[in-house]
Structure formats: structure tokens, C-alpha cells
Structure 1
Amino acid sequence: MASRARTKRYHHGDLPAALVDATLELIGEQGLQGFSVAEAARRTNVSPAAPYRHFSDRDELLAAAATRAAEELRERFTAATAAHAKPPERLAAAAAAYVRFAAERRAMFEVLFGAGLEKARYPRLEAATSGLMADLVEVAQALAPGRDAEAAWSLVLAMAALAQGHATLLIDHAFGAGACDEVVDEAERRVAAATRALVRGRGVLFAELGFAPG
């Protein structure tokens, strides 16, 4: 059914999107190591040469998939943070959304954070990832001394490290076997708690990094 849907989309002139669909499907089944442009073409019912009319090489197709992933993650951040008014809760909600994204969009998570792409080579990918980080920095500025953007960036990086760590632990079954709702809920609860603790102790972080008190 999915293959027929992709073929129909191609006949309407959307081969790049269909190839991204196939790429994410392949990564979800076999991981990044199991992905090939030729197999993505086969699943999209086009010739092995057809993808290269839109993507110069394997990495450019992966970058398109990573861009879609970054755009979805940004949408999830926006929805999660909009549900809260206070900056600490907004950052905690974003961290929880990151972990759930890793659980529910494993292929997207893998291509966005595990493909080793040089983002500067792909303007759309760089814009998408920069945009989602900028959204978080804007939230964090309310917690930074003098609303300093660099201090806010440092706080967001620390939060992202917490979220990445919890997402990796979730994938490694540290919170329980599988990715059932209870396991994901527990990972979300823990990363949100860790983020709140980080925010409460941000003064120590800022001092260690040399930011003057506000």
C-alpha cells in the first residue's frame, strides 16, 4: 500500500518526496547502514538513475530526509512549549517532546542525529536545525542573566545534552523493554525532571562558563 502511494505521488511530480518516504522507511527497517539510493529507487518504482536527477548523491538524499525530520521536531517543540507559560516548564516540555520523537520517529531521529551530515553543505537542513534551536534559545533567554543570548544558548545546549542522553537510554531500553507508552512516559518524566533541575541550577552553569550574574 505504501509503495503504491509513493508511486502515485511520483506520477504527480513529487518524486523527491517519494524518495524521502522510501529513505525513512528503509532506515526504519534496516538502519542507516541498510540504506541505499538504489533500494529507495526500487521501492519508489523508478529506475536506479532517477534519484540522481534530484539528489547528487546518497548524502543529499539523507539530508532531505534529515530536513523533514528537523521540521517535524520543530513542530513538536512548538506544540509542546505552547502548552506552558513559564520558561522552565516550556524547556522541560521540549525535552520530553525530544524523547518522544526518538521513540515514535526512530528513523527520523537516526537520520537527523546519526548520519554524520555536514549541515553547512545543505542550506535547507541547516536552516531547519538552526530554526528549532533558535526557538529554544528564545525561551531560554528569559532565564539567562540580562537575557544574554550566549548564556541562553549554553543553557539550551545543556538541555539538549540531557534530552539526547535520555533518548539514547530509551532506545537502549534503560527505562524498560520496548517502546510502549509506559516506558516512553517514564523517559519523558525523567528528562523533564532533569531539565527542571538544570534550570534551577543554571546559576552554577553560567558561573562555570564565565557569564556575569544578571
Structure 2
Amino acid sequence: MNSPVKRRPTGQHHGDLRNALLRAALELVTERGPHGFTLAETSRRAGVSVAAPYKHFADRETLLAELATSGYREQRSRFAEAVSGSDEPVEQLASFASAYVRFAAEEPALFDITFNAGLDKSRFAELASAGEEVAALLLPVARELAPEADDAFDLLLRVAAAAHGLAVFLRQGLFGVGGGALTETEEKAARTARAIARERAGA
């Protein structure tokens, strides 16, 4: 699936400075992680002056927050598609866990920004809202198995934490490399989610 940030050919005049900077930042995050670059480096990568980013972004965190918002929106789109494939909440949570792993594998830079950039959501209302929309999509599924709000949140957190851990292990090469490793890790995540959900359903 394509990244939500549109790709641009290199070596062209930037009619869309904002998108050029976002694309450059994604490339730098891919190479160095979300903490390993500056706005000045982003400018150079985009082929614009070091003053250019400030037309759109107050600082590096503001740029990263926009990318993290895109990350949450991409997750919500993927997770909505995943849970729509079944009416059974256990299977919906299994599909969510599988989609979580695939997102981490296919969009590693967005995954790292969303979860590892250390952004203060109280500073970025749109980012906080995007994260809440993901939770709002998935919590009703969890409440089918755990009607109390706190129990539903705990169930969703456990499933997400398991999927997150497996996704990180996959990224670290613990399960091998290539498409086969991704498929097997997706299946691991789905099995783990089913076990967690069924345990809760039988509680």
C-alpha cells in the first residue's frame, strides 16, 4: 500500500513545499530514526533553503507531528478494512492485530514516528484527535467481549501490545526476512489476539 505522503520525483522544482519536506523527513527517518535529523538536513534533502521549512512548520516536532497524524490516519484506514471482514469480535481483533504487524512492516518510518518520536500530543490537537479516532474504531469491538469500558480498554491494550511486540521483533529480524516472515508474523499476531480475546470472553 502506498504511503499517505505523496511521493515526488527528485530533481524538480517544488510546487508543493510542504509535501517535499514531509517526503524528505520520511526518508531521513527511514535512514536514521525519528530523532536522528534536523530541519536543516530536511531542507537540504528536499533541495530547498534552510529557511524554507519555517513557512509551514514551526520546528522539527511540528513536522513530525504532521507525519504522525498521517500515520494514525493510515492505521485507521487499514484497521477499518481489517475489522470489516467479519462480524465476530474475536476475529475482528485477530484481523486488527495482523493489520498492525503489516503496517509496521510496510510503513516503517510512519510506524517509528507514530510510536517513537516522543511527541507531546497536548501540543498537537490534530495528532491527538487522529489517535483517538483509531481507539474509537476499535473500542466498540472490544466492548462486544468486555462490556465495561475499563475492561474493553484493557483488552484492546493487551491485543495491541502483543501485536506491537511481534511487529518490533519482525523489524529486528528475529523471525527472518522477506514476505514469508511477514506472513508468519501476521499469523502469530492473529493467533495471539484470538487467545487473548477468547480468554477475556470466557472470563
Return the TM-score normalized by structure 1: 0.86
| 1:188 positional shift | 0.5
1:188 aligns with 2:190: no
Q: Spell out, residue by residue over 1:5-59, the C-alpha distance to the aligned partner (whole angstroms, 9 max, x if none).
A: xx55x42xx3222211111111112222432211211222221011112111111
Unpaired runs of 5+ residues, structure 2, are: 1-7
Q: Spell out, residue by residue over 1:84-120, the C-alpha distance to the aligned partner (whole angstroms, 9 max, x if none).
A: 2211111110111110111111111111111111112
Unpaired runs of 5+ residues, structure 1, are: 207-214
- Higher relative helix content: 1
What percent of counterpart residues are identical? 43
Alignment-derived partner of residue 110 in structure 2: 108
**Within 2, Cα distance between the matches of 1:203 and 1:93?**
17
Q: Indicate the structure (1 or 2) with the bigger Cα radius of gyration.
A: 1
Q: Spell out, residue by residue over 1:126-178, the C-alpha distance to the aligned partner (whole angstroms, 9 max, x if none).
A: 1111111111101111111xx322221111111111111111111121211x2
- Answer whether contact 2:71 2:111 (CA < 8 A) is retained: yes
* Aligned AA (1:154): D
| 1:124 positional shift | 1.0
**Within 1, Cα distance between the matches of 2:51 and 2:167?**
37
Alignment-derived partner of residue 73 in structure 1: 75
| 1:203 positional shift | 5.3
Alignment-derived partner of residue 2 in structure 1: 9
Alignment-derived partner of residue 197 in structure 1: 195
* Aligned AA (1:155): L
* Aligned AA (2:97): A
**Within 2, Cα distance between the matches of 1:2 and 1:39?**
18
- Answer whether contact 2:145 2:201 (CA < 8 A) is retained: no
**Within 1, Cα distance between the matches of 2:23 and 2:140?**
32
Return the TM-score normalized by structure 2: 0.90
Alignment-derived partner of residue 117 in structure 1: 119
* Aligned AA (1:201): E
